[in-house]
Amino acid sequence: MSGFESLIYEKSDDIAQVTLNRPEVLNVYNIQMRDDLYQVLSAIRDDPEVRVGIFTGAGDKAFCAGADLSEFLTAPSPVVARQVRWERDVWSLFLSIPQPLIAALHGYVLGSGIEIALCCDIRIATEDVRFGLPEVGLGIIPAAGATQTLPRTIGRGRALEMLLTNHRIDSEEAYRIGLVNRIVPKDKLLQAAHEMARKIASYNPIAVRNAKQAVVRGCDLPLAEGLDLEKRLASELLGVAGRKT
Ligand code: COA
């Protein structure tokens, strides 16, 4: 699939790679990128051939430096722009993708950038990565999930410190607090992401999807309901295996 202004979408075998592609402005998230992402995410979700998705950023300096402030300060009004964004609801779509998603992160990962990374299941980063949430300093709050996804990933206190003080986090701290799964040299970033993706893609796709669903949905459930969910998803798999034999 091609023809996107702000993204590159590549599919090779069973792995989809999405590259945020506005390197001249550090891949900042604008309305065009929202619309392109919506299409690409729908395509990934609906394509049974895609087993794993990888998200990365073009250029040397950033995965994504947040929302496009030039648009934010012009387009009809921030309130209307945000309303449209909610209606399109890229972020719910992102969080509902059944296949595992890997974020391959380098350089600045700010604002919407960290929110995209948090919509992914596994985060691999380079040594030069810098995370931050500048929104509160700009008089707004994140609206692409970070107030919910970040504390679920690094805990409430650390998330609030990032949000309220714009504390920037480097790769070592990100690894230590569980914001990233691993750190790799810059020239090995995509290789590491693809190796991991290929490994996941080599497994039974239903087992992979059910395992993701059990963890992602289970995290928001009381333990007893989470265990029920696991039981249901496990027996669904046994049913599939049984039908094959
Ligand atoms: N919106 C629009 N354009 C942006 C941008 C943003 N959020 N962040 C960077 N850019 C543009 C710059 O205007 C510049 O464009 P230009 O070359 O036409 O002047 C280009 O991207 C490169 O950025 P620059 O600031 O020159 O790079 P730097 O290495 O000196 O600084 C940052 C990098 C990330 C520290 C700095 O760009 C920054 O603070 N950006 C804003 C981050 C932010 O507040 N994001 C919003 C979160 S809601």
Is 12 strand, coil or helix? strand
The per-residue pLDDT for 245 is 47
Residue 244 buriedness (CB in 10 A; 0-12 / 13-18 / 19+)? exposed
The per-residue pLDDT for 207 is 97
- Give percent of the chain with pLDDT exceeding 70: 90
Closest CA to 52 of 202, 214, 177: 202
Length of the chain in terms of residues written: 245
Ligand 1 atom with minimal separation from the 111 CA: 47
Q: Does residue 127 have an active-site annotation?
A: no
- Beta strands of the chain (E only): which ranges? 7-12, 15-20, 52-57, 62-64, 101-105, 108-110, 122-126, 130-132, 169-170, 182-184
Beta bridge partners, 15, equal: 12, 52
Q: Is the CB of 33 under 6 A from ligand 1?
A: no
The per-residue pLDDT for 71 is 87
Q: What is the CA radius of gyration of the chain?
A: 18
Closest CA to 143 of 91, 106, 189, 193: 91
Q: Is the CB of 70 under 6 A from ligand 1?
A: yes
- pTM summary value: 0.94
The per-residue pLDDT for 3 is 75
Question: Which residues are CB-contacts of 144 (< 8 A; sequence separation ≥ 6)?
Answer: 85, 90, 91, 112, 115, 116
| Minimum CA distance residue for ligand 1 atom 14 | 25
**Dihedral angle sign, alpha carbons of residues 126, 121, 87, 18:** positive
Which residue numbers in the chain have pLDDT < 50?
Answer: 245
Q: Does residue 115 have an active-site annotation?
A: yes
Ligand 1 atom with minimal separation from the 140 CA: 48
C-alpha 65/C-alpha 134 separation (Å) is 10
